[in-house]
Structure 1
Amino acid sequence: MGARSKARKRAVDVLYEADLRGVDAVTLLAERVGSPDVPPINDYTISLVEGVTGHRSRIDDLISEHAEGWTLQRMPGVDRAVLRLGLYELLWAADVPDAVAIDEAVELAKQLSTDDSPRFVNGVLGRIAVIADQLRAVL
């Protein structure tokens, strides 16, 4: 597993925990950075958590619009975290190709969630990827 893939997994862990506990992900991450009890946190993990948190409202709106038949609250928490991360990379991480953002999110869903989750994550992000250029133009 590459450094960025590990950073993504760590970011999903933080996003999921923050969501579960009802706390701000950046604050949770800040508590962990430099803690002797926690392994060092990659700069890319920090960038992802900050990015998702900074665009969370728009990210959640887009997921809600494109997750056919699912509300955010009804989704498994891990799927929510993976979708938020994948969508952030898809729309705001200029150095990550769309296909890579989707593939990495699908891989995280395979590792961390249910058997149906990879297909669900791929479907939601795939629908958004079709209009990604239009969305980026107004971000």
Structure 2
Amino acid sequence: MSARSKARKRALDLIFAAEAQGLSAVELLDAGEAPANEYTGELVRGVEEKRDELDALIADNAQGWSLDRMPAVDRNVLRLAAYEILFVDDVPDAVAISEALNLVRDLSTDESPAFVNGVLASVARR
């Protein structure tokens, strides 16, 4: 697993835990015992800063699904990947989507990869 893949996984862990606990992901990042990869910090801070914009975009592209109805892993993977697609210039859209699919394949439901792929493909076309 590449360093960036590990950074994405760690960022997802922090964003997911923060949502579950009703906390700020940045606070969890800053309180971490082990130093985080620089890219993990960039992702966590970026998703936190742009969360409202990301959520609106995801909701617009998740036809028939509200954010609340989505599995929590899918919702947070979508936030992470949408952030990369929109705001991280050195990550090609296809890489962001592929990495997101790898995460949901490992961590979510059997239906999640197709759902996440469809939403992110719509986001990338914008």
TM-score for both structures, normalised by structure 2: 0.97
Q: SS of the residue aligned with 2:67?
A: coil
Q: SS of the residue aligned with 2:68?
A: coil
Count of aligned positions: 126
Give the match for residue 16 of structure 2. Answer: 16
- For 1:6 and 1:66, how far apart are their aligned partners in 2? 27
The gaps in structure 1 that reach 5 residues or longer are 132-139
- For 1:118 and 1:63, how far apart are their aligned partners in 2? 15
Query: What whole-Å deviation, never above 9, does each CA across 1:44-95 have from its counterpart, x for those lacking one?
Result: 1011000100100100000011111110011111111100000000000001
Identify which of 75, 84, 97 aligns with 2:79.
84
Give the match for residue 115 of structure 2. Answer: 120
Identify which of 81, 85, 93 aligns with 2:88.
93
Determine whether 1:3 maps to 2:3: yes
Q: CA deviation at 1:28?
A: 1.2
The gaps in structure 2 that reach 5 residues or longer are none
Higher-Rg structure is 1
- For 2:55 and 2:15, how far apart are their aligned partners in 1? 13
Structure 2 counterparts to residues 124-139 of structure 1, below 5 A: 124-131=119-126
Runs of 4+ in 1 over 6 A off after TM superposition: none
Structure 2 counterparts to residues 94-113 of structure 1, below 5 A: 94-113=89-108
- For 2:15 and 2:111, how far apart are their aligned partners in 1? 21
- For 2:19 and 2:67, how far apart are their aligned partners in 1? 11
- For 1:6 and 1:14, how far apart are their aligned partners in 2? 12
Query: What do you get for the CA RMSD once the two structures are aligned?
Result: 0.8
Q: CA deviation at 1:40?
A: 3.1
TM-score for both structures, normalised by structure 1: 0.88
Q: CA deviation at 1:116?
A: 0.7
Structure 2 counterparts to residues 34-53 of structure 1, below 5 A: 35=33, 39-53=34-48
Q: CA deviation at 1:118?
A: 0.8
- For 1:52 and 1:71, how far apart are their aligned partners in 2? 19
Query: Percent identity among equivalent residues?
Result: 56
